[in-house]
Structure 1
Amino acid sequence: MAVNETVIVMLRPKPDLARMTEDPPEVRAAAQAAVDAPAGIGTIASYWTEVPLPAAGTWNAPGKGGAQADIVLTAPQDKVPLLFIGVDYCHETAEELADKLEKYARFFNKTMKDADGKTRPMWRTRWTAPATWPGDATHPPVLLVFNHIGERNPNRTIPRLMELTRHAWQGERQKGGHHHDDGKIPIIATGLRNLRQHGPTGPVFLRFGRDHMQPPAGGDRQPPP
């Protein structure tokens, strides 16, 4: 259910007020508030759920050691060309979440021959995403959405998870203060409660390695300051 709710709060569908003329005033007021709220990302066709991400084998016959994305979002019209989303119920430890992110890394590093006979990252044989700034080979971003119903506090889990996965997301600082993030994964975290309140265009996303919240999830991928 939390996966479905995450899709809804990311999508933020707008009700048709013209079809609600006979509804009670409080229902119409809530619908009007939804219409006036900031827009979401993509359309319902932009979302796929429970998507296997093989680290071995093929798309049709995935081997062991791969990941499974709770949600895959493709909304290039909203500057989110490709985003993998995992929903956490706050039952798992930071170590268990780090293991899942290692599986993402194995998937992103897997290559295969495309239909034209050229070898490409496996994910690029299914999804399209533009290259980042020149010379950078950053992997697609992974968003972790924490639904705080379990006993673990995400405010303590996230810092520990940052340390455990630093090798996966931290780029190398170059002369002039720029970073090269070749082969790194942009990892982002947010809470389902914040998504409900502010939507995916609000400043509710913490990218690992940053010290402030920012919008949107995925967005234009720019070099770290």
Structure 2
Amino acid sequence: MAVNETVIAVTRTPATATRPVPRQQPAPTPTATEQAPAPGLVLEAQGMGWIGSWSTEVPLSLPTSRGNRAGVRADAVLQAPEAGLPVLFVEVDNCTESADTLAAKFEKYLRYFRLKSKNPLGSESPVWRTQYPSTRREGHPPVVVVFNPGTRTGPQALKNRMNTVMELTRLVWSGSYHVAGGGYGAEERDGYYDYADAIPLLFTTLDRLQTSGPRDAVWWRCGHGQWETLPDALTNPADHDAWYARDEQRRRQRDEERQRQHQEWTVEKERWAQEPDPEPEPAPEAAPCERCKGPITGPLGYDLEVAPPEDGRHCPSCRTDLRQQYPTLRQAVFGRRPRSK
């Protein structure tokens, strides 16, 4: 019964009577503003698909070492490409089995989605693609769990059950993280999740579907952390596309920063070009010669090559004269020593 109620809640098609109904007096014809809806139409929230879009009790077989086949049986499968759902596997949970038993089903789903088969050309393709169309999204087909607690499970117990199943199936839906650089010159490290081998696992409740319909924010995608509409819930979080968008934003910011620095450098260069050159600082005046009081560099035109080495006290001419003087007795005995300044 819960599966049938789920199908009705998603398609939003009212159930028709299966027994004869006593004939009643015809009601007065409503006016144009109160025109009654046509049979089979629903004026409430719009649904997804129709009765023919569903298959129930669908076996998903897995090969075993003994030659027989074992697998999981999907409670229902919805194919509504007009609603953006090429294929959606549905599990209805009446909260009568343990959370471990429910979580173990999704490991079998993952094994089934990983099965490969070869076509006549020799290339491999997933087995599920032989029966269902592509989802046009990265990863395996989505699987939704419709919880039907009824009066058996309270709100807090249902929340705990959903959290337990989500933690037990983390390896099934979380994807694998890949570290990617933040771009040339970026200090921060960034990365993305690869969902190529992950199942988009969604949660909802039967009462939410019956009250708000499938097009409202009644879907909880494991890893998103909030109730969303179905298109938003099926969007892979933090995937390669999201990383690429962040990397493009960082690249634009770096380009804008380089352009801003270039403009600042151009303005600064123009300002420097307009400023006059600073006057050269005057050379420090040299001390005069201690002997002749003339310039210590000597007169112009004097041949400096024949002069003794500089002593910082005499000009070249005086150094030459002092060198040519007869040495004293002390200088003759101990040699000439330069006088301290």
TM bin, normalised by shorter chain, reads 0.7 to 0.9
Return the alpha-carbon distance in structure 2 between the equivalents of residues 110 and 30 of structure 1. Answer: 47
Question: Following superposition, which runs of at least 4 residues in structure 1 exceed 6 angstroms of deviation?
Answer: 28-32
Q: Does 1:5 align with 2:10?
A: no
Query: What is the identity, as a one-letter code, of the residue corresponding to 1:12?
Result: R
Structure 1 unaligned residues grouped into runs of 5+: 16-20
Equivalent position SS for 2:235: coil
Cα separation, 2, equivalents of 1:108 and 1:150: 35
Contact 1:91 1:150 in 2 (8 A): no
Trace 1:101-140 onto structure 2 (pairs within 5 A).
101-114=106-119, 118-132=123-137, 136=138, 138-140=139-141
Q: Which runs of 5+ in 2 are unaligned?
A: 16-24, 30-34, 181-189, 239-341
The equivalent residue for 2:173 is 169
Q: Is the 8 A contact 1:73 1:83 kept in 2?
A: yes
Q: Normalized against structure 2, the TM-score is what? A: 0.55
The 3-state SS of whatever aligns with 1:50 is strand
Contact 2:92 2:146 in 1 (8 A): yes
Q: What is the aligned partner in structure 2 of residue 53 from structure 1?
A: 60
Aligned residue type for 1:63? R
**Residue of structure 2 in register with 1:191 after alignment:** 205
Alignment of 1:146-161 (within 5 A): 146-149=147-150, 151-152=152-153, 153-161=157-165
Shift of the alpha carbon at 1:198? Answer: 0.6
CA distance in 2, matches of 1:202, 1:121: 32
Change in 2 beyond 3 A, CA 1:155/1:30: farther
Shift in CA distance, 221/208, structure 1 to aligned 2, threshold 3 Å: closer
Question: Which amino acid is the alignment partner of residue 7 of structure 1?
Answer: V
Report the Cα offset of residue 80 of structure 1: 0.9
Residues 22 and 200 of structure 1, relative CA distance in 2, 3 Å threshold:
farther
**AA in 2 matched with 1:141:** P
How far the C-alpha of 1:195 sits from its partner, in A, is 0.5
2:13 is paired with a residue whose SS is coil
Partner of 2:83: 78
Structure 2 CA distance for aligned equivalents of residues 22 and 178 of structure 1: 64
Q: Which amino acid aligns with 1:50?
A: E
Q: Distance in 1 between matches of 2:236 and 2:123?
A: 29
The residue number in structure 1 matching 2:229 is 215
With over 3 angstroms needed to count, the CA separation of the structure-2 counterparts of 1:35 and 1:115, relative to structure 1, is farther
SS across alignment from 2:47: coil
Amino acid at match of 2:92: V
Given that 1:10 and 1:40 are in contact with CA atoms closer than 8 Å, whether structure 2 keeps it comes out as: yes
- Which residue number corresponds to residue 284 of structure 2? none
2:72 alignment counterpart: 67
> Is the aligned partner of 1:203 residue 2:217?
yes
Instruction: Supply the distance in 2 between the matched residues of 1:161 and 1:44 (Cα, whole angstroms).
Output: 29
Question: 1:181 aligned to 2:195?
Answer: yes
Deviating more after overlay: 38-47 vs 167-176? 167-176
Given that residues 221 and 234 in structure 2 are in contact (C-alpha distance below 8 angstroms), is that contact kept between their aligned partners in structure 1? no
Change (3 A) 1:109 1:75: same
For the residues of structure 2 that align with 1:190 and 1:123, how far apart are their CA atoms?
24
Root mean square deviation, CA, Å: 3.1
Higher relative contact order (CA 8 A, sep 6+): 1
Letter of the structure 2 residue corresponding to residue 49 of structure 1: T
Separation in structure 1 between the aligned mates of residue 96 and residue 42 of structure 2, nearest angstrom: 35
